[in-house]
Amino acid sequence: MLDILEQVGINNYIYLSTLLFCVGVLGILYRRSTIVMLMSVELMLAAANLLLAVFSVYHQDVSGQVFVIFAMAVAAAEVAVGLAILVSIYRNIGSIDIDKLKNLKG
Amino acid sequence: MITIIFYILATITLGTGILTVLAKNPIHSAVYMVVCFFSIAGHFLMLNAQFLSVVHIIVYTGAIMILLLFTLMLMNLSDQHEPKKKVASRIAAAVSVCLTAIVILAVFLKANVVIESYKAENIDFQSVQVIGQVLLDEYMVPFEFASILLITAMIGAVLISKREKKA
């Protein structure tokens, strides 16, 4: 199992995480439900984490994986606060449709 | 053999990612997202990063997915139809995502990245023991700041979602 990057090739991992990131971007642009947009942000973060881990293995250096752990901590905090904001929004306007959140426009 | 497993896992990752984005019911989206994260944990396992794999499963499917599902239950959205965006903006979204993907992939295809041949030296660099030593030795201060960040997020989440008194 040590030589997986020799067999698969680092290029394939780069393409995979690029495509996963683009799927996340599609979710942000395509959907109106805020909770699905939050999930898309999670997908994009996971793509970045995967690439960090791949390059950590490629350089035989553990620092990349430590950064992945920090990114996971930040992602967990982000989801907790984001969902709290969503619940608060739902209480106030009774829906989480992103297009209804235009009070700031006046 | 490993290559076949990689392609199967990559197919699962991308397919369930797309299903996450396109599923109508948000609960189905959450479940597909969990399958996607399990396959990413499989990728970590194939890279021999055991600690990351287990932590990914615990954090994402244990904590984040439960949070998402409880929020969905709290909002009771499953029977309520999400109004679709206008056709023009949906087409614009699809086109711009395709362009983004083409540009990034073209950059990586044409960039002539300096990738010297990968050699696996037989040194232990990513076992749980090494990660623990590096995390608590070299990255001690960021580790402590991460704990401060987590407790701030916890307090913030409680404060934001607390029901306000009717004034």
CATH of the domain at A15: 1.10.287.3510
DSSP-derived secondary structure for B26-46:
HHHHHHHHHHHHHHHHHHHHH
A1 pLDDT band, cuts 50/70/90, is very low
In this structure, are B7 and B69 located in the same domain? yes
The alpha carbon of residue A103 is apart from the nearest alpha carbon of chain B, in Å, by 19
- Does pLDDT of B36 surpass 80? yes
Show which of B29, B62, B81 is a domain's final residue. B81
B61 pLDDT band, cuts 50/70/90, is confident
In a domain, A104, yes or no: no
Stronger pLDDT, A103 or A42, i.e. the higher one: A42
B117 pLDDT band, cuts 50/70/90, is low
In a domain, B95, yes or no: no
In a domain, A10, yes or no: yes
Q: Say whether A7 and B3 touch across the interface (CB within 8 A).
A: yes
In a domain, B69, yes or no: yes
Query: CATH number, domain at B72?
Result: 1.20.120.1200
Q: Say whether B153 and A75 touch across the interface (CB within 8 A).
A: no
In a domain, A23, yes or no: yes
Stronger pLDDT, B87 or A103, i.e. the higher one: B87
Contacts of A12 in chain B (CB under 8 A): 6, 10
The secondary structure of residue A99, as a DSSP letter, is G
Mean pLDDT of all residues in B100-115: 82
pLDDT digits (tens, 9 = 90+) for A10-59: 888 889 999 999 999 999 998 888 889 999 999 999 999 999 999 888 88
In this structure, are B19 and B73 located in the same domain? yes
In a domain, B56, yes or no: yes
In a domain, A33, yes or no: yes
Mean pLDDT of all residues in B29-45: 93
In a domain, A56, yes or no: yes
Burial class (CB in 10 A: 0-12, 13-18, 19+), B89: middle
Q: Which domain holds residue B145?
A: 124-167
In a domain, A13, yes or no: yes
In a domain, A55, yes or no: yes
- For chain B, what is the domain count? 2
Residue B123's CB: how many other CB atoms inside 10 A? Answer: 8
In this structure, are B70 and B141 located in the same domain? no
Stronger pLDDT, B164 or B74, i.e. the higher one: B74
Contacts of A35 in chain B (CB under 8 A): 26, 29, 68, 71-72, 75, 77
Q: Say whether A25 and B97 touch across the interface (CB within 8 A).
A: yes
Residue A93 near chain B (CB below 8 Å): no
- For chain A, what is the domain count? 1
Q: Which domain holds residue A92?
A: 4-97
Q: Say whether A53 and B51 touch across the interface (CB within 8 A).
A: no
